[in-house]
């Protein structure tokens, strides 16, 4: 029993079903005698480790859109944990022993019982709907479970949203229960150090037992002096290792619920609230405590609309209020060492002059959700009104409003706009107007995307955000918005001044001359160097394929240099798809008249893996032959080789070329047809004659076509292919 904590937990819940009561009572006495002293402490330590590990596994978040009703923070396991502790330490079933020892407040028991009953009803209904034992409340079951429990739509609020609000309220009660019990158990009662706190920000008689703060009863008469609560919040901010005791937490919630509606309009309250948002760290913890006590709703009635609100979509992992609080916390935890983009963001955060304004915008950026209107516009209206009520000036309120109204701007651009387009960048710079606004919007967008779901901020999204930020910074640093030609000239000058290593000036000039004019607008010096190296390795009939990146933590860059032909991009996409690669961006450029220079950025799909090392050489050998072109002896037009044979299909005696010179007596097989697209050739001199063809050749004589140079646009290269014959 000493080592097997799982079995010990099961034996804790023993009960007499039938048989001798005397034997049952003897077993009970021996069991609890064995589970005492050091063994009891080791058992409780094991249960605490198990609790911490479970919370860590689920991310410490209660308000998730698809919770596990049993194991998620706030699930049934929280109630089980409290029962096990009461049984093991006090040898009595139920929560009553915890009330008698002062761990819980008697007024909380009814809330805990109602929360337990509601989650059990939800779990039973989920089992009925799914027709199997399951605890994961995925989106598929939200609506049927809500209907089974009797919820109905009310206006623009869906039945399942109303159900999830009630679930989160119940889950918070059970989570609070396990938090209080866990805090009480982390130290044995004989080891709990009790001290009287003399800090002037807390009332006389405040006691700290272990790491729990217990406030005297007279503190909770806050109607006459609500500022005492902000004094206490500042004290808790300065002592992040302390927690409010269960009894004090319950009394605080009752006291805050009794505040009158004029609290949020008083100037001192606004100043104290902004002061909590100003420190470099700790503001997120203060906001979470205010959320638990219900103070955010009293200060800002619009917060009640988004509290515990779940929007049914496929990418938001958290409820709206949890998303907002998590975004505020992420501002303080930007990983500086993760890469150059995070390092730039960390520097921007440290340099923000008014952290309170940015935190306020982050806290309110989705507060318009649940209104049935455009949440950006509605949120901007709420944010401006709340900012003025806090005592902010008109320019400060306007900045908060602008950030909330445009919090989706950068995210939409990196998803759907061409960031190499000069017009897109100029329009974005005109909306931003100043470098300070751009810095704040960049930080807001970063934490907003990260707080949507774990892993939502990919390396690719971050690189695109950083690219948009740097390009906009370049435009804003100019005295006036430069034209496309001026921007291109500035970029070329930058390339010339920072010549990539191993690249000669003459080679760079030739390289830029062979590419479209906009090439210099979106290509970094390092990428220019990789392009030049790839082009220099190309030989006629032998495609060049270069790889960099791993496709997981950073995008896999694929550079392809080969002769142009119809359907080439289609083949590139097929090759990537066959290797479980998802293409996130592609640049298709023409290099002089014959070659194409394609650059693809890919990530590995979740179900696939990206090859490393020599695996890429195998990939090139496998698909390289597909991209090669073969010349027709009559018109010099280039046709693709088949991946199954380095030449024309063995089942066809006809050469599938653009000029259709050879007889069509034997049609191409179904495998060849999709790879063949016929293009008309221009009649000219015959390759075997010095005279100009003036009339049609006999049927037995091949028609005369001169060799020609083809330049096919990216659109044409990805054009429609012939349908295989039936």
In this prediction, residues 223-244 reach a mean pLDDT of: 84
The answer to whether 448 touches 365, Cβ cutoff 8 Å, is yes
pLDDT of residue 572: 85
Average pLDDT over every residue of 656-676? 39
Q: Give the residue ranges of DSSP H helices in 373-483.
A: 375-389, 394-405, 409-416, 422-432, 435-450, 459-477
Q: Which residues contact 691 (CB under 8 A, 6 or more apart)?
A: 685
Give the three-state DSSP class for 258: coil
Distance CA 40, CA 88 (A): 7
Q: Residue 716: left (phi > 0), alpha (psi -120 to 50), or beta?
A: alpha
- What integer is the mean pLDDT of 156-182? 91
Instruction: Please give the Cα distance from 677 to 720 (Å, whole number).
Output: 8
Block residue for tokens 């982390």: 186
In the structure, what pLDDT confidence band is assigned to residue 637 with cuts at 50, 70 and 90? very low
d(CA 68, CA 74): 9
Assigned CATH class of 486-629: alpha beta
Q: What is the structure's pLDDT at 539?
A: 84
Q: What is the pLDDT averaged over residues 552-565?
A: 84
Coil, helix or strand for 28? helix
pLDDT at residue 713, rounded to an integer: 40
The stretch 91-105 carries a mean pLDDT of 83
pLDDT greater than 90 at residue 126: yes
- Crossing angle (nearest 10°) for helices 375-389 and 394-405: 160
- Write down how long the chain is: 726
Inter-residue contact 555 to 459 (CB < 8 Å): yes
pLDDT for 7 beyond 60: yes
**CATH architecture assigned to 5-190:** Up-down Bundle (1.20)
pLDDT tens per residue across span 469-494: 998 998 888 766 666 666 667 767 66
Question: What is the rounded CA–CA span in Å between residue 290 and residue 163?
Answer: 24
CA distance 656 to 676: 7
pLDDT at 321: 93
As a whole number of angstroms, the distance between CA 652 and CA 648 comes to 7
Joined tokens for residue 437: 């606004």
Task: Write out pLDDT tens, residues 671-720.
Answer: 343 333 333 333 333 333 333 333 333 333 333 333 333 333 434 333 33
pLDDT band at 170 (very low <50, low <70, confident <90, very high): very high
Say if residue 20's pLDDT is above 60. Answer: yes
**Phi then psi dihedrals of residue 585, to 5 deg:** -160, 150
Q: Which residue has the tokens 């919007």?
A: 441
Segment 133-160 shows an average pLDDT of: 91
pLDDT confidence of residue 373: 85
**Do residues 36 and 43 make contact, with C-beta atoms less than 8 angstroms apart?**
no
Q: 334, 555, 603, 345: which is closest to 470 by C-alpha? A: 345
Q: Which residues, including other chains, have CB under 8 Å from residue 449's CB and lie 6 or more apart?
A: 411, 456, 457, 461
Mean pLDDT estimate for the chain: 78
**DSSP 3-state helix, strand, coil percentages of the chain (rounded to 5)?**
50, 10, 40
How sure is the predictor about 608, in pLDDT bands with cuts at 50, 70 and 90?
low
* Per-residue confidence band for 195, with pLDDT thresholds at 50, 70 and 90: confident
Flag whether pLDDT at 669 surpasses 50: no
- 54-63, 286-295, 510-519, 529-538: which has the minimum mean pLDDT? 510-519
Query: What is the Cα–Cα distance from 112 to 71, expressed in whole angstroms?
Result: 17
Lowest mean pLDDT among 24-33, 208-217, 400-409: 208-217
- Rounded distance between C-alpha atoms, residue 329 and residue 109, angstroms: 32
Comparing CA positions, the residue from 576, 562, 569 lying closest to residue 611 is: 576
pLDDT of 573 over the 50 cut? yes
235-269 pLDDT, tens digit per residue, is 999 988 888 887 788 888 888 877 765 455 566 88
- With CA atoms as reference, report the closest residue to 672 among 648, 653, 689, 692: 648
Residue 320 has pLDDT above 90, yes or no: yes
Tell me how far apart the alpha carbons of residues 523 and 508 are, in angstroms, rounded to a whole number: 13
> Which residue did the predictor score with more confidence, 131 or 625?
131
212-214/243-244 β-pairing: parallel
Q: Quick one: pLDDT at residue 705?
A: 31
- Residue 261, CB-side half-sphere exposure with 13 Å CA sphere: 2
Do residues 227 and 272 make contact, with C-beta atoms less than 8 angstroms apart? Answer: yes
Q: List phi, psi (to 5°) of 139.
A: -55, -35
The per-residue pLDDT for 527 is 84
Q: Please report the pLDDT score of residue 506 as a whole number.
A: 80
Using the CB atoms, write b or e for 483-499: b if 16+ within 10 Å: eeeebbeebbeebeeee
* 347-365 average pLDDT score: 94
pLDDT surpasses 60 at 72: yes
| Domain range annotation of the chain | 5-190, 196-244+259-300+313-458, 486-629
* Dihedral pair phi/psi, residue 2, rounded to 5°: -65, -35
Q: Is the dihedral of CA 442, 444, 447, 450 positive or negative?
A: negative
Q: How confident is the model at residue 91 (pLDDT cuts 50, 70, 90)?
A: confident
Count of helix runs (H) and strand runs (E) in the chain:
30, 10
CA distance 635 to 685: 10
CATH for 196-244+259-300+313-458, options being 1.10.10, 3.40.50, 1.10.3090, 2.60.40: 1.10.3090
């Amino acid at each position: 029993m000493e080592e097997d904590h799982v079995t010990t937990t099961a034996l804790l819940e023993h009960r007499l079903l039938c048989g001798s009561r005397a034997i049952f009572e003897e077993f009970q006495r021996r069991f609890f005698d064995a589970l005492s002293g050091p063994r009891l402490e080791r058992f409780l330590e094991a249960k605490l480790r198990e609790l911490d590990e479970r919370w860590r596994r689920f991310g410490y978040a209660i308000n998730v859109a698809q919770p596990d009703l049993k194991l998620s923070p706030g699930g049934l396991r929280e109630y089980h944990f409290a029962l096990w502790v009461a049984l093991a330490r006090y040898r009595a079933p139920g929560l009553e022993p915890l009330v008698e020892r002062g761990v819980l407040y008697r007024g909380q028991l009814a809330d805990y019982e109602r929360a337990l009953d509601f989650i059990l009803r939800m779990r039973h209904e989920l089992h009925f709907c799914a027709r199997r034992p399951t605890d994961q409340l995925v989106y598929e079951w939200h609506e049927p479970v809500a209907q089974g429990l009797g919820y109905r739509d009310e206006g623009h609020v869906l039945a399942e949203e109303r159900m999830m609000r009630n679930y989160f309220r119940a889950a918070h009660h059970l989570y609070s229960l396990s938090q209080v019990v866990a805090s009480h158990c982390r130290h044995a009662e004989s080891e709990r150090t009790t001290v009287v706190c003399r800090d002037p920000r807390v009332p006389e008689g405040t006691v700290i037992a272990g790491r729990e703060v217990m406030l005297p009863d007279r503190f909770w008469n806050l109607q006459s002096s609500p500022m005492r609560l902000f004094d206490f919040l500042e004290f808790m901010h300065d002592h992040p290792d302390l927690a409010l005791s269960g009894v004090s937490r319950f009394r605080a919630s009752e006291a805050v619920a009794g505040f009158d509606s004029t609290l949020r309009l008083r100037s001192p309250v606004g100043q104290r609230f902004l002061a909590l948002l100003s420190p470099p760290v700790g503001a997120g913890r203060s906001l979470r405590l205010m959320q638990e006590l219900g103070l955010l709703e009293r200060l800002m009635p619009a917060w009640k609309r988004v509290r515990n609100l779940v929007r049914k979509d496929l990418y938001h992992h958290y409820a709206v209020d949890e998303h907002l609080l998590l975004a505020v916390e992420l501002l303080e935890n930007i990983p500086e060492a993760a890469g150059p983009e995070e390092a730039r963001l960390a520097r921007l955060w440290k340099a923000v002059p008014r952290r309170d304004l940015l935190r306020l915008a982050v806290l309110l950026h989705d507060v318009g959700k649940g209104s049935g209107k455009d949440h950006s516009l509605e949120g901007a209206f709420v944010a401006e009104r709340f900012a003025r009520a806090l005592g902010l000036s008109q320019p400060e309120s306007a900045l908060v409003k602008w950030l909330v109204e445009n919090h989706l701007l950068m995210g939409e651009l990196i998803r759907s706009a061409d960031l190499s387009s000069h017009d897109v960048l100029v329009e974005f710079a005109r909306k931003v107007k100043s470098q300070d606004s751009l810095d704040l919007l960049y930080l807001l967008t970063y934490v907003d995307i990260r707080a949507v779901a774990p892993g939502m901020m990919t390396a690719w999204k971050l690189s695109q955000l950083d690219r948009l930020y740097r390009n906009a910074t370049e435009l804003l640093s100019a005295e006036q918005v430069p034209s496309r030609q001026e921007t291109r000239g500035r970029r070329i000058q930058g390339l010339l001044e920072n010549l990539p290593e191993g690249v000669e000036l003459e080679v760079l000039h030739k390289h830029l001359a062979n590419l479209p004019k906009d090439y210099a607008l979106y290509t970094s010096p390092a990428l220019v160097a990789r392009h030049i190296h790839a082009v220099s390795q190309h030989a006629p009939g032998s495609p060049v394929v270069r790889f960099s990146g791993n496709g997981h933590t950073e995008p896999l860059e694929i550079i392809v240099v080969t002769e142009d032909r119809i359907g080439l991009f289609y083949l590139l996409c097929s090759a990537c798809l066959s290797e479980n690669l998802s293409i996130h961006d592609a640049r298709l450029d023409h290099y002089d008249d014959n070659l194409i220079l394609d650059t693809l950025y890919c990530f590995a799909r979740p179900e696939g893996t990206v090859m490393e090392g020599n695996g890429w050489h195998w990939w090139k050998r496998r698909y390289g032959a597909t991209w090669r072109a073969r010349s027709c002896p009559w018109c010099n037009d280039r046709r693709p080789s088949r991946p199954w044979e380095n030449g024309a299909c063995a089942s066809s005696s006809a050469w599938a070329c653009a000029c259709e010179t050879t007889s069509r007596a034997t049609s191409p097989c179904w495998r060849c047809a999709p790879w063949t697209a016929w293009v008309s050739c221009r009649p000219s001199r015959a390759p075997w004659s010095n005279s100009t063809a003036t009339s049609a050749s006999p049927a037995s004589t091949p028609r005369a076509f001169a060799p020609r140079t083809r330049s096919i646009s990216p659109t044409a290269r990805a054009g429609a292919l012939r349908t295989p014959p039936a």
